[in-house]
């Protein structure tokens, strides 16, 4: 069964190295990653795409929502809490 969790990524608290490590774990576990902003929702297929979307969003000084969907979200939620402590959990998911 698939599960979903999400968190806000904030430009002032963003650490590129940690986000890269987190995304590589997402790839390894085979989950689907989405980035959602005010006027867009994009499914991420490769690390460069994720970085482009985040940097574009953050260059406009806006937050975005990272959504993780798959069977291993519990492990990734713990990893996100450790690597991205500035990320705020989104209770809607």
What are the residue ranges in the chain where pLDDT is below 70? 86-93
Domain total for the chain? 1
Q: What is the structure's pLDDT at 87?
A: 63
Rounded to whole angstroms, the Cα distance separating 57 from 12 reads 12
Residue 42 is part of a domain; what is its CATH number?
A: 3.30.1340
Domain hosting 47: range is 3-89
Q: Would you state the pLDDT for residue 88? A: 53
Each residue's pLDDT tens digit, 41-54:
999 999 999 999 88
pLDDT score of 90: 53
The tokens of 79 are what? 């990893």
For residues 47 and 16, is the Cβ–Cβ distance under 8 A?
Answer: no
């Amino acid at each position: 069964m698939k599960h979903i969790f999400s968190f806000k990524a904030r430009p002032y608290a963003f650490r590129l190295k940690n986000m890269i490590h987190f995304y590589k774990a997402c790839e390894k576990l085979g989950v689907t990653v989405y980035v959602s902003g005010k006027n867009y929702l994009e499914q991420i297929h490769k690390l460069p795409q994720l970085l482009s979307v985040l940097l574009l969003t953050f260059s406009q000084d806006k937050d975005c929502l990272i959504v993780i969907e798959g069977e291993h979200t519990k492990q990734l939620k713990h990893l996100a809490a450790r690597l991205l402590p500035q990320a705020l959990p989104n209770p809607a998911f």
